[in-house]
Amino acid sequence: MCDEHMIESVFWPLGADRARPYKPAEARRAVERAVAERCRATHTPCDADALSDALLVVSELTTNAILHGGGVTDFQVDVDGPGVRVSVSDRSDELPVTAPPTDPHGRLRHGGHGWPIVCRLSRDVRVSDLPAGGKCITAVVSLA
């Protein structure tokens, strides 16, 4: 778990009437659209590096939900003030962990970099239990 990030129990309502991205590419497009709309509405330029960080975070969260969480069950994106907040829900109650870089025999592991990337690029990460089971991971990435 990211030591400096919080775990809490909270309910994130499912948006039954909106299409949810179930693949990383769809989630990235949703974030790109939300940020572009906000930049247009506020007449501010979009920081390409900050957007790139947000796209990497959402890609890692959705990929982890698919690989380790039984699939994406809900997705939300919101550009709030100087940041973009993405929430990805999945079916697993297991908390994300940072895997050691080597296995017990000292061999380098493949993968295991997604959660540390999310923790490093996000200014806030929260893992919430969902009432019907599963979890929601919410990350806020600065756009400034």
pLDDT (0 to 100) of residue 33: 95
Which is more confidently placed, 103 or 50? 50
Strands 124-129 and 6-9: parallel
Residue 4 per-residue DSSP state: T
**pLDDT (mean) for 95-124:** 89
pLDDT (0 to 100) of residue 13: 39
* Rounded Cα–Cα distance for residues 126 and 76 (Å): 14
- Strand segments (E) across 41-101: 72-80, 83-90
Sign of CA pseudo-dihedral 68, 120, 26, 134: positive
Which is more confidently placed, 109 or 58? 58
pLDDT tens digits for range 82-97: 899 999 999 999 999 8
| pLDDT exceeds 80 at position 54 | yes
pLDDT (0 to 100) of residue 111: 78
Instruction: Name the band, by pLDDT with cuts 50, 70 and 90, for residue 50.
Output: very high
**Chain-centre distance for alpha carbon 3:** 17
* Rounded Cα–Cα distance for residues 90 and 68 (Å): 9
Instruction: Name the band, by pLDDT with cuts 50, 70 and 90, for residue 20.
Output: low
Percent composition of the chain: helix, strand, coil (DSSP 3-state, to 5) = 35, 25, 40
Could you tell me which of 118, 100, 115, 123 has the C-alpha nearest to residue 56? 118
Which is more confidently placed, 16 or 139? 139
